[in-house]
Structure 1
Amino acid sequence: MEKLYNIFTYGTLMQAFHNPYARKLRASSEYLGKGYFNGRLFRVEWYPGALFEPDAPTLVRGEIYQLHSLDILKELDEYEDVLEDEAASLYVRKVVPVRDSQEVVRGGEELVRDCWVYLYNQPVLDLPLIEDGYFKTTS
């Protein structure tokens, strides 16, 4: 059986954005729906940065996609400034458990999917927190 790969986006790769990388992601994957994980979301500049914090009371909200193949990851890594030197990278791609907002499993619990997420990898001390956890084009 072929392994399925999911990616979770919370910023400029979401459906509301129309840059070439967002379009390429949509062409290279199947949209599974909205999801979220515990953490904090910050406005960096015209884009956001998220931290995965399993015990955080706040959420990072976004979209889950199932990739058709891994071919797109190299381009997405470049877009997100993922470097070989992890300390110098703007983002790092990590696997995070993401709760699917629309899929419920038996017992009424939300489905949890392991997803690649581009997590912000620089200091956040002076960055404004996006309190509702949802990055919008107009915010």
Structure 2
Amino acid sequence: MEKLYNLFTYGTLMQAFDNPFARRLRLSSDYIGKGYFSGKLFRVEWYPGALYEPDAPTRVHGEIYQLKTLEILKELDEYEDVLEDEAASLYVRKVIPVRDSREVVRDCWVYLYNRSVEELPLLPDGCFKH
């Protein structure tokens, strides 16, 4: 049986955004629905950055996609500035538990912010909008 891979997005890859990478993701996956994980969401610039904090009282909200092929990850890694040298990467792609709209936990790849958030504004509702 083929293993299923899920990707959770909380920023510019979501359905409300129209850019080449968001369009490619939609073509290369099936939209599962909305979801969230425990953590904090910050506004970096025109895009957000999330931290996974399992014990955080706050949540990061976004969308779950089931990938049809893993090939898309190479493109998304480039878009998210994921480098071989993790310390130099803007984001890191990690598998974390994400709850879907029915509270079912799904292991999902998520691009987590990999820089200091000390000076960044927190988005307290955990939702990124334009």
TM-score of the superposition, structure 1-length normalised?
Answer: 0.93
Write the distance in 1 (CA, Å) between the matches of 2:4 and 2:55: 27
Where 1:92 maps in the other structure, the secondary structure is strand
Write the distance in 2 (CA, Å) between the matches of 1:135 and 1:26: 19
Write the distance in 2 (CA, Å) between the matches of 1:3 and 1:84: 25
Over the matched positions of the two proteins, sequence identity in percent amounts to 80
Residue in 1 that maps onto 2:36: 36
Residue in 1 that maps onto 2:117: 124
Write the distance in 2 (CA, Å) between the matches of 1:60 and 1:41: 6
TM-score of the superposition, structure 2-length normalised?
Answer: 0.99
Q: Which has the larger radius of gyration?
A: 1
Write the distance in 2 (CA, Å) between the matches of 1:71 and 1:84: 17
Residue identity in the other structure for 2:70: L
Where 1:72 maps in the other structure, the secondary structure is helix
Residue in 2 that maps onto 1:64: 64
Which stretches of structure 1, 4 residues or longer, exceed 2 Å deviation after superposition?
none
Write out aligned runs for 1:82-121 (5 A): 82-101=82-101, 103=102, 110-121=103-114
Residue ranges of structure 1 left out of the alignment (5+ in a row): 104-109
Where 2:78 maps in the other structure, the secondary structure is helix
RMSD after superposition: 0.4
Displacement of 1:49 in angstroms is 0.1
Displacement of 1:123 in angstroms is 0.3
